[in-house]
Chains A and B, each alone.
Chain A
Amino acid sequence: MAVAEAHTTVSAARARRRGRLLPSDAGRAVNWAAACMLLMVTAVALLAPLLAPYNPLAPVSMPLQPPGHGTFLLGTDAIGRDVLSRVLYGWRSSWFAALAVIASGVVIGGFVGVFAGMSGGWLDNLLMRVTDGFLALPAPVIAIAVVAALGASFFHTLLAVAIVWWPFYARIVRGEVRALAARPHMAAARLAGSGRLRLAGRHLLPGTVPAIVITASLDVGNLVLTLAALSFLGLGQPAPAPELGADTARNLQFLLQQWWIPVMPGLAVFLLALIANLAGDGVRDLMGDR
């Protein structure tokens, strides 16, 4: 099908701009809007205790009420807890967990990257081989093994994901540092007698910020999905705690009769990842424009 289509249309389309959903002038506004959505997601996460109409842990009504029944916008679950409240609290923990892992990735990866990039030589070589080793292994699968060894708990899951997540950032930061180190302003700073710390903090780190911000914002969506998958497998907070992945997994038995109980938390993960991905694209385009 594609080839027949190609026959008539490729050359006609050649001149047009590809790959964009919208023309570029509207695109900029959309990018800003997408980036601002990150703030909204964070606001919802922060305000979850105020926004949630009920206690997410306590039964507040008859069980298995469908969405829209009474004051239960998303219905109630098998023991009469409000699904909306649970989703909001789950949203909060998913979002902050993803941000925490990203932050640790940026800090650890950034530190290793700057250190490797500045020192060069065998140390640089060694550190990059280590990151290569990490990157050559399937991160989510290794994370499962790490949690299993440490004992299943929410903190251990975050720790495990953080352990497998930083090498990616180390690679990117190290690349940026190497590129920056060859620039004239570094030579000038060195001639002016700046120490290593000052070189790193004042002249290298600021230069790596755009690359880090772009990478991190494109990465949040992935991380939300990975953490949700681990939570689905039972590697998150224990039972009564509201968690999006785990709430879907625990309520699979209700799928065919009371679909909203497993579907709503899953939809929340989708929405969270979608917003994160849109915002990531927006941030990349905005920063790439500069």
Chain B
Amino acid sequence: MRRLIAKRLAAMAVIILVLTAVMFLLQRISPLDPVHAMLGANASRQALTAERHNLGLDRPVIDQYGRYLDGLARGNLGMSYRTRRPVTTDIGTFLPATAELTFYALALALVLAVLLAFGTTLEWPGARLLRLVLLGGSSAPAFLLSIAGILVFYKQLGWLPASGRTSLANPPTGPTGLLTVDGLLTGQPGVTLDACQHLVLPALAIAIGPAVSIGRVLRSSLASNLRADYVRTARAKGLSEGRLLLRHVTRNSVGAALSMTGLQVGLMFAGVLVIEQVFAWPGLGQYVAQSIPVADFPAIAGVTLLLGAGYVVINTTVDILQAVADPRISV
């Protein structure tokens, strides 16, 4: 077990290193000159040379990559061309909103996935309808789901807000930056309630696609486990269906669904970037979307590094968890 964990962690480190190399390479092949972007079109030749030297761009490539890694290790992601602030600072500003949205979307996706899986495995009148939902949900673009949600729940019914994280003029700014948590920590349950209302539509729009994918995997492993010999044995010894399903079948079926969850997190990150546009959510998606038109590569690379590393860490954790849950898995 310890060997497996060590191996997984080593692989994780290598992949993250590859990710940094890819980002560094992209910066190198980018036709956009960072020095020009920093100093503007009218900078003098001396200023350009001085800044080039200052940024270390006149050194050998390997040396530059070393400096880049060194900077990363200190949390230095470079300067944004657009905001003129360190990318790390910008990400610190926008991350809590995105982290909160992603977390609730993931939780919602897992709940929906379990409901969909059980709802379609068991024979009941709604099962066929749910299968259609599975098919539709896997084909609907997240931005269509979110604008449909806005039209129904905001415009028609007026139940839920359609933009931003909060409708309060001065929400608490600390200690975590997550409004649902901060509301409780500062003793203002109204803030938490309001934040939850704002979270429902965007989280749902992001969650449906991944929920369908996870639900499908869970459904097929439930179905194949239900046909397994040990289920027949359990039935034969008189185990109740509920106990059989919960204690035996579900436990043996979650492995594949867990892997799928890890993979879907990557798609969710992309979904978050899109959905934040629709709901004017003040997170990393807004930051990236504003950086794209002005070709602010350090900003985009910073967010990509963060999301990519997050994805790799989550999938490594999932792998290790699986091995812990099922000792037969080995690498």
7 contacts across the A-B interface (CB closer than 8 A): A14-B227, A19-B220, A21-B132, A233-B274, A249-B143, A263-B148, A276-B139
Closest A residue to B140 by beta carbon equals: A270
Indicate if the CB atoms of A144 and B273 lie closer than 8 Å. yes
Size class of the B contact interface (CB-based, 8 Å): 35 or more
Q: How far is the CA of A12 from the CA of B315 in the complex (A)?
A: 38
B121 to chain A, nearest CB (A): 7
- Name A255-274 residues within 8 Å CB distance of B: 255-256, 259, 262-263, 266-267, 269-270, 273-274
Choice from A13, A149, A221, A235 contacting B139 with Cβ under 8 Å:
A221
Quick check: B300 and A10 within 8 Å, CB to CB?
no
> In whole angstroms, what is the CA distance A164 to B57 when docked?
28
Are the CB atoms of A248 and B143 closer together than 8 Å? yes
Q: A229: which of B148, B150, B227, B270 is its contact (CB, 8 Å)? A: B270
* B293 and A234 contact, CB distance less than 8 A: yes
On whether the beta carbons of A148 and B267 are closer than 8 Å, the reply is no
CB contacts (< 8 Å) of A277 on chain B: these are 135, 138-139
Contact B307 A141 (CB under 8 A): yes
The closest CB in chain A to the CB of B315 belongs to A136
Tell me the B residues contacting A by CB distance below 8 Å.
Answer: 14-15, 18-19, 22-23, 26-27, 29-32, 114-115, 118-119, 121-124, 128, 131-132, 135-136, 138-144, 147-148, 150-151, 155, 209, 219-220, 223, 226-227, 235, 240-242, 245-246, 265-267, 269-271, 273-274, 277-278, 288-289, 291-293, 295-297, 300-301, 304, 307-308, 311-312, 315
B227 contact set on A, CB distance < 8 A: 14
Interface of A (DSSP majority class) = helix
Closest to B299 in A: A148
Could you tell me if A144 and B300 are in contact, using CB atoms closer than 8 angstroms? yes
Decide: A233 near B278, CB < 8 A? Known: A141-B270, A151-B32.
no
Complex alpha-carbon distance, A8 and B23, angstroms: 55
Also in contact, A9 and B123, with CB within 8 A (given A141-B304, A148-B301, A221-B138): yes
Residues of A within 8 A of B278 (CB): 252
List residues of chain B with CB within 8 A of the CB of A136: 15, 312, 315
Q: Is the CB of A255 within 8 A of B150?
A: yes
